[in-house]
Structure 1
Amino acid sequence: MSSRNRNGSNQAGRVIAVVADVMALILGVWILMYLLDANRANDLVQFVHNVAAWLAGWSRDLFTFDEEWARVVAGYGLAAVVYLFIGHAIANRMHRY
């Protein structure tokens, strides 16, 4: 593979890894805001919650723990871990080729 194609793959891999990191960061920030009982009337808190809810739409209600905080941590945390794992796996695969 030419160095030009390799550099393009490396850059694309870096972009994918950064996007995965940002997605996981947003989910982590929402978990932290939830656990610290952030003011949900605040615009920033609402924005983070809305984005996190969209990102974790597939995993939000996956678990049925009795405690709401456990459901939030497990549901949103699972999404964060999956995005990190898949994003970095794709980035590493692109880096190799």
Structure 2
Amino acid sequence: MSTRHRSGSNQAATVIVVIADVMAAIIGLWIIMYLLDANRANDLVAWVADAARFLAGWSYDLFTFDEAWARVVMGYGLAAVVYLFIGHLIAGRIRRG
């Protein structure tokens, strides 16, 4: 294979990893803000909460713990882990391919 093809594959893999990492970081930031009882009237906190809710829409309320903090940690945490796992898996396949 040409170096040019490998370079393009590496760039694509890097973009995928960065996107997955940013998605997981937003979700992780919301978990931390929730646990620290951040002021939801603040624009930054509201934006992070909305973005995390969008990204974790499929896993939000997946678990039915009695404690709200446990539902947030598990529901949003699962989404973050899945994004990291899938993003890095796809990037690894692209780099090898």
Give the distance between the partners of 1:32 and 1:92, measured in 2 at CA.
29
**Shift in Å at residue 2 of structure 1?**
1.5
Q: 2:35 — aligned with what?
A: 35
Residue deviations 1:31-82 (CA, integer Å, cap 9, x gap)? 0000000000000000000000000000001000000000000000000000
Give the distance between the partners of 1:63 and 1:32, measured in 2 at CA.
18
Give the distance between the partners of 2:2 and 2:64, measured in 1 at CA.
51
Q: Which moved more, 1:81-90 or 1:2-11?
A: 2-11
Give the distance between the partners of 2:55 and 2:76, measured in 1 at CA.
8
Q: 2:61 — aligned with what?
A: 61
Q: 2:71 — aligned with what?
A: 71
Q: TM-score, normalised by structure 2?
A: 0.99
The gaps in structure 1 that reach 5 residues or longer are: none
Give the distance between the partners of 1:60 and 1:72, measured in 2 at CA.
8
Give the distance between the partners of 1:87 and 1:73, measured in 2 at CA.
20
Give the distance between the partners of 1:54 and 1:13, measured in 2 at CA.
24
Could you say what the CA RMSD is over the residues aligned between the two structures, in angstroms? Answer: 0.4
Give the counterpart letter for 1:34 in structure 2. Answer: Y
What is the aligned residue count?
A: 97
Q: 2:80 — aligned with what?
A: 80
Q: Percent of counterpart pairs with the same letter?
A: 73
The residue matched to 1:62 in structure 2 has which SS?
coil
**Shift in Å at residue 3 of structure 1?**
1.2
